[in-house]
Amino acid sequence: SGREKSRNYNETTGIASYEVAWISQAAADQRAGRAGRTGPGHCYRLFSSSVYTRLFPPFAEPEMVTKPVEDVVLAMKAMGIDNVGNFPFPTPPNLAQLKSALKLLNNLSCLEGGAKGAGSGQEDEEGEITDLGRALSKLPLNVRFAKMLLGGVGSGVLDLAIMLVACMSEQSPFLDSFGARAQREEDDEEGGKKEEGEKAPDTEEAARAKKKAKEEEEL
């Protein structure tokens, strides 16, 4: 189908949600290669070559870009990496985002210490992980959602907290989905081409009739 449910990170809100989007061209080619992995095979794609060229990105974005930085920082702190700012990332995060992540973790009581030392080489200024931070790092959720669940447990409203986190993790049901919008664009494009193809014979026939009438007048 050429679509997948991928993580989409919103830098403005700092929340990652899962949305249906097109795969990359590299992923599509890799999937096509599976058809002939153990023997001769065929790959049937449910999308046109025009959609492949126009809508598919050449490569997928690194996971570091599609994941909140505070989740990465908290996981690294839980692993015992004190100086996250000087860690040799294959795809390093933005320094401003790293400082913002450290500040957020301090505000959520996941770290103890200042957040101004990110990337400065001063390990103690990044802060040390707390017991709450270790507990949140074990949950496969965004650190904000994880704290909401723990807060729900302490307040006796875990069911409501789970429902709230589930709603915030998915795309709004009141918004048009990416797949439906892209499918309509493809249908409109194919419909326009079909209309042009249907109008072409009428135009040629009218031109021939006009030419024949002109020849008869000259005679």
Instruction: Output the pLDDT for position 120.
Output: 44
pLDDT(179) > 60: no
Instruction: Output the pLDDT for position 125.
Output: 61
Residue 9 one-letter amino acid? Y
CA distance 80 to 169: 29
Element (H, E) at 105: helix 95-107
pLDDT(119) > 50: no
> What is the model's pTM?
0.56
**Distance of CA 202 to CAs 9, 49, 59, 211, Å?**
51, 29, 44, 14
Instruction: Output the pLDDT for position 74.
Output: 92
CA distance 19 to 141: 16
Closest Cα partner for 71 from 41, 43, 97? Answer: 97
β-partners of residue 170 are 18
Instruction: Output the pLDDT for position 124.
Output: 47
Element (H, E) at 15: strand 15-22
Tell me the mean pLDDT in the region 191-219: 61
CA distance 127 to 74: 11
Mean pLDDT for the chain? 76
- How many Cβ atoms sit within 10 Å of the Cβ of residue 121? 9
**Distance of CA 61 to CAs 65, 66, 133, 142, 159, Å?**
7, 7, 28, 19, 34
Instruction: Output the pLDDT for position 180.
Output: 53
Give DSSP secondary structure letters for 151-207.
HHHHHT-HHHHHHHHHHHHB--TTSPPHHHHHHHHHHHHHHHHHHHHHHHHHHHHHH
More confident residue, 105 or 19: 105
pLDDT tens-digit readout, 140-171: 888 888 999 999 988 999 999 999 888 877 66
